């Protein structure tokens, strides 16, 4: 079965960067992309002679035209070198609704394997109180979500961090994290943040994983001490030049409790590198 990626866009500069990332990733995964725009009707009392259906149809027509221009006119450059051709499997979809809720609904109904979307990396105070669209999608999405902050181009990944609460109890998530690292041929850093004290890294264990083609990947297990989980992860990512952050997000109810604990929410909104939050099943990288 063809792998499927859902890419929501609001036609912003941030979305353009993430679109380049999604296209290159889809090419490597041999996956098809559905490009989605969620629009709102925007009724006007002054135009009461125009029916609601006419307004919706007009909005949908405009959104569909914008989607075509977004896909056809975007100057794609894979890894900044070779141009990426539009894939025949790309599909366009314009849907009315609230962004986060509609994105999750489309992902569920279309049985998508992965959502790839852009984020600014910096948010307003209102975003921090209510949650950005990306953060709310992560909370409710039926599939894994890859959030790409602005200015992150698709490139060869050398080092990936898997943020763990208890590595010994996370057999399936740990295996998925290894699959992700194996797909990107990247070294895997399993990092647990122990709150308390100034920033420090305690190297606990090192190992090696070999792919079927003989590629060697290093796996390290580190405990980080810091005043908070998000600052500990951020410091580690910056100091170790990490290319991607990977976090496990189980069933919506349980993950929602963990997410409201603030640190995962902050990482989703403030991470300067791509953040992949995966569910129990992530066959797209295996």
The pLDDT tens digits of the residues spanning 117-126 come to 998 654 444 4
pTM metric for this prediction? 0.85
How high is the pLDDT of residue 260? 40
Radius of gyration, alpha carbons of the chain: 20
How do residues 133-146 score in pLDDT, each as one tens digit?
Answer: 888 898 889 999 99
The answer to whether the beta carbons of residues 286 and 179 sit under 8 Å apart is yes
In the chain, where the domains are located: 3-149, 156-242
The answer to whether the beta carbons of residues 34 and 21 sit under 8 Å apart is no
The answer to whether the beta carbons of residues 63 and 35 sit under 8 Å apart is no
The answer to whether the beta carbons of residues 243 and 273 sit under 8 Å apart is yes
For the record, the structure tokens of 257 come out as 């409790």
How high is the pLDDT of residue 79? 43
The secondary structure of 40-73 as a DSSP string is -----GGGTTS-HHHHHHHHHHHHHHHHHHHHHH
How high is the pLDDT of residue 54? 81
How do residues 49-77 score in pLDDT, each as one tens digit?
Answer: 567 788 888 899 999 999 999 988 765 54
pLDDT < 50 regions, the chain = 77-81, 83, 86, 88, 122-130, 254-261
How high is the pLDDT of residue 32? 93
Burial of 198 (0-12, 13-18, 19+ CB in 10 A): exposed
- In words, the CATH class of domain 3-149 is alpha beta
The answer to whether the beta carbons of residues 119 and 147 sit under 8 Å apart is yes
Q: How far apart are CA 5 and CA 35, in angstroms?
A: 9
């Amino acid at each position: 079965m063809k792998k499927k990626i859902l890419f929501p866009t609001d036609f912003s500069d941030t979305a353009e960067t993430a679109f380049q990332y999604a296209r290159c990733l889809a090419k490597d995964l041999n996956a098809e992309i559905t490009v989605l725009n969620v629009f709102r009707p925007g009724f006007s009392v002054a135009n009461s002679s125009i029916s609601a259906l006419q307004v919706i149809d007009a909005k949908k027509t405009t959104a569909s035209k914008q989607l075509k221009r977004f896909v056809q006119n975007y100057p794609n450059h894979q890894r900044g070198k070779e141009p990426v051709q539009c894939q025949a499997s790309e599909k366009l979809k314009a849907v009315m609704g609230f962004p986060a809720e509609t994105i999750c609904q489309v992902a569920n109904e279309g049985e998508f394997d992965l959502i790839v979307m852009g984020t600014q990396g910096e948010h307003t105070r209102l975003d921090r109180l209510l949650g950005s669209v990306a953060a709310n999608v992560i909370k409710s999405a039926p599939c894994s979500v890859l959030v790409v902050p602005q200015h992150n181009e698709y490139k060869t990944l050398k080092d990936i961090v898997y943020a763990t609460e208890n590595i010994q109890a996370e057999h399936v998530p740990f295996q998925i994290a290894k699959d992700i690292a194996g797909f990107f041929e990247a070294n895997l850093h399993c990092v647990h943040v122990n709150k308390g004290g100034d920033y420090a890294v305690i190297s606990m264990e090192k190992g090696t994983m070999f792919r079927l083609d003989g590629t060697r990947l290093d796996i390290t297990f580190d405990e980080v001490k810091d005043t908070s989980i998000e600052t500990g992860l951020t410091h580690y990512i910056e100091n170790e030049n990490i290319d991607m952050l990977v976090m496990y997000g189980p069933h919506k109810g349980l993950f929602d409790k963990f997410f409201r604990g603030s640190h995962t929410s902050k990482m989703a909104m403030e991470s300067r590198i791509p953040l992949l939050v995966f569910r129990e099943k992530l066959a797209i990288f295996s």
